[in-house]
Amino acid sequence: MLVALPSSIAFGVLTYTVIGPEYAGIGAMVGILGAAALGVMAPLFGRTGGLISAPCAPAAAVLSALIVELISGARGGGLTAADILPLLALTALIAAVLQIIYGVIGGGRLIKFIPYPVVSGYLSGVAVLISLGQLPKLLGLSKGTALSLGLLSPHLWKWEGIAVGIATIVLMEAATRLTKKIPAAIIGLFGGIAAYFLIALFSPQLLTLQNNPLVIGPIAMSGSFLDSLTFRLASLLHFNIHSVGLVFIPAVTLSVLLSIDTLKTCVGLDALTRSRHKSDRELIGQGIGNISSFLVGGMPGAGTMGPTLVNINSGGSTYRSGVIEGGFVVLALLLLSALIAWVPISALAGILLVIAWRMFDWRAFHLLRYPAGRQDFAVIACVVIVAVTVDLIAASGVGVALAILLFIRDQIKGSIIHRKLYLNQISSKTHRLACEREMLNRHGDQAVFCELKGNLFFGTTDQLFSQLESDLRTKRFILLDMRRVQSMDYTAAHLCEQMHEQLAERGGSLLFCGMPSGLLDQRNFEHYLAQLGVVREGGGVMIAETLDGALEWMEERILDTALVQGGEEDKMLQVNEFELFREFDETKIGALSSCLREISIAQGEHVCSTGEMGDELFLVRRGRVRIMLPLERGKRHHVATIGQGDYFGELSFLDRGVRSADVEAKVPTDLYVLSRSRFNEQSRVDATLGVMVFARLAQAIAERLRQADSELQALEDR
């Protein structure tokens, strides 16, 4: 309370003295009431342990700027103080309701993603505005005197106020070196009060409370608390659409800034307490706290870092500490109102100048050292300049707009294509015969594989089209791997449809694989594309369940075009038709055939399973099998697909060890089975046969390893 109360009074005085110096007492009361209402209500509903809520700098800055606009006529045609006070209350009420809405719809997670340069520039702009507003109070300039004129006119200064303000600033800065047990704001405030009464020993007129421009003055409430509450509720009936229109934009700005200030404090609090706050619930709690502040005639606020740190370091780790802090503010209001009236305005100005100095993001100037940081510094500088020269509302809009432009620029500058390969550089897990691999090496450049990354939206789609433009004119198939894609908009979906139509003119197609569909991040591109008609039954872009399935589909289309398969799978191969035994003469084929037996496997049936002992080599006469590697929790990894004319089981044939994978028939399959024990018997009769078979196996294994090396090199290319 000792930290929150002085700053709350200072922010209230800062805001209401914009109307006129005579409103300092009202401002002090508004600050105290806001600290009390927020302190009690926000923790009860937000439930973030250790968080202290009170009036804050962004609230003072937004409301001060609004008062200036209302008085000057920039907003509302020039209003009197009697008109302005209800509008300030309406602004706070709308901001509070919006905070509750943010929490209900889950906006707490989105507000935290506002770019830091925008937040930094905004807070730095608030710091500059606070400084410009408090320097006249520190110098004791009369209302209406321009700061530029006042700085050049020492005869207008009140040296008593300057002395008190300087004493406050010096003690606040020196407080951390003197002690850490007493907050710096308290040392500065009491030091300023002591300096004021010390000067009063030589200037007795300073001991007069009435019409004393150097102190806050009487802060008594007009009427009872119940009367104030009734008046606030009744005032809601007198607001109209015109009133709401006057303050709606400032209220939106205020709601966002208060929410950012609170969530920023909560994030820092999480790091200290090793806990995790619930941002949406905290926003609802802050909204209820600000509604309570409106009802009692207080100032809006947020979760504030200074009092929160003091609370945590003092052992306040639950939400109850925040409620107790609010209770102490109420006690201070009841018991210390007469003393608060004697607080020097220049002392409060000194406290606010120190707060503004600490709020200004001086680290932003370090960004100028690095070329990559200068653009972020430009965003911060623009926000500060607009905040000072125009207003805070325009500054927030400029900051967000610049951040969006920088984001789009960064997205465009980097390539949306993470990796691009042709089908003769990457292949599916289907083992191909030598003639098929040769055909794929020759015609594989007709199919393109692209792994995308980042965001597919209007800022990157043109870049994607430009990078694939030559392929769209000359290739048949383009496969887009979407696993690394974070988002997709309508522009990207429309481009995909155009790409597919262009490929379809040459008998080709556009394919997708790796489509994100997890509920955790709410991305389901396949459903989105189906709604737009880009993916549809009987046409449209094809979506493959796996990357391997998409690669295999493109390989088969290319091989079909090259007339390699052409229906040969319906015919069962004989021993001499296997590539493994090419160049074997009839005698060797006959000797080998005597070692073979024939089996047929139904679709889905296992040929062999993991952990089984075996020494057979299997040759696929017709059909296909899949080799599946068992994983934990019952999952499996697809190692390869073996088709007609190929073989599997060579490792167990060579070392007679246990099977390391499951083999199941993808379609009805006919096999030759070559047993190692039976083959050894034949090799003793004809040693040349054994040498030839093992030599061909070694050569085939070497070719497979080289192919695997080439694919790994292509995939790992950085």
Reported in sequence order, the residue ranges of 193-259 that DSSP labels E, i.e. its strands, are none
Q: CB under 8 Å to 11, separation ≥6 — which residues?
A: 31, 55, 56, 57, 59, 60, 299, 352
State mean pLDDT over 49-68. Answer: 91
Residue 421: strand pairing partners: 449
- Cβ atoms of 488 and 528 within 8 Å: the answer is yes
Rounded Cα distance between 671 and 619, Å, is 5
Helices (H), 140-224: 147-151, 159-178, 184-200
- For residue 544, the Cα-to-chain-centroid distance in whole angstroms is 29
- Cβ atoms of 301 and 35 within 8 Å: the answer is yes
pLDDT of res. 137 = 85
Residue 305 pLDDT more than 60?
yes
pLDDT of res. 503 = 92
pLDDT of res. 97 = 96
CA distances from 572 to 215, 458, 669 (A): 104, 53, 10
* Residue that has been written with the tokens 């870092």 in this structure: 305
**417-566: what fold?**
Transcription Regulator spoIIAA (3.30.750)
pLDDT of res. 303 = 93
- For residue 36 the two structure tokens come to 């009390």
pLDDT of res. 393 = 66
Residue 544 pLDDT more than 70?
yes
Start-end of CATH 3.30.750.24 domains in the chain:
417-566
Reported in sequence order, the residue ranges of 240-389 that DSSP labels E, i.e. its strands, are 301-303
DSSP 575-613: GGGSGGGTT--HHHHHHHHTTEEEEEE-TT-EEE-TT-B
What is the three-state SS of 46-62? HCCCCCCEEECHHHHHH
pLDDT in tens, 308-321: 877 887 788 899 99
- Cβ atoms of 554 and 477 within 8 Å: the answer is yes
The correct answer on CATH 1.10.8.80 for the domain covering 571-715 is no
State mean pLDDT over 165-190. Answer: 85
CB atoms within 10 A of CB 371: 8
Q: CB under 8 Å to 537, separation ≥6 — which residues?
A: none
Residue 521 pLDDT more than 50?
no
Rounded Cα distance between 11 and 34, Å, is 10
pLDDT of res. 431 = 78
Would you say how long the chain is, in residues?
Answer: 718
pLDDT in tens, 630-656: 887 777 888 888 888 889 998 889 888
pLDDT in tens, 364-384: 898 888 887 888 888 889 989
Rounded Cα distance between 405 and 397, Å, is 12
- For residue 184, the Cα-to-chain-centroid distance in whole angstroms is 35
- Cβ atoms of 21 and 13 within 8 Å: the answer is no
pTM given for the model: 0.59
Residue 122 pLDDT more than 80?
no
Q: Residues 216, 222, 228, 231: is their CA dihedral positive or negative?
A: negative
- Cβ atoms of 714 and 430 within 8 Å: the answer is no
Start-end of CATH 2.60.120.10 domains in the chain:
571-715
State mean pLDDT over 272-285. Answer: 88
pLDDT of res. 237 = 65
pLDDT of res. 330 = 92
Rounded Cα distance between 696 and 680, Å, is 16
Rounded Cα distance between 697 and 634, Å, is 32
Ranges 561-575, 611-625, 690-704: which has the least confidence = 561-575
* SS3 category, 612: coil
Rounded Cα distance between 582 and 580, Å, is 6
Rounded Cα distance between 668 and 35, Å, is 78
Residue 717 pLDDT more than 90?
no
Question: What average pLDDT does the chain have?
Answer: 85
pLDDT of res. 522 = 46
CA distances from 87 to 81, 221, 289, 550, 678 (A): 10, 19, 19, 63, 98
- Cβ atoms of 603 and 668 within 8 Å: the answer is yes
pLDDT of res. 538 = 66
Ranges 43-52, 328-337, 428-437, 684-693: which has the least confidence = 428-437
* SS3 category, 32: helix
pLDDT in tens, 212-255: 888 888 775 655 556 666 766 666 666 778 888 889 999 998 99
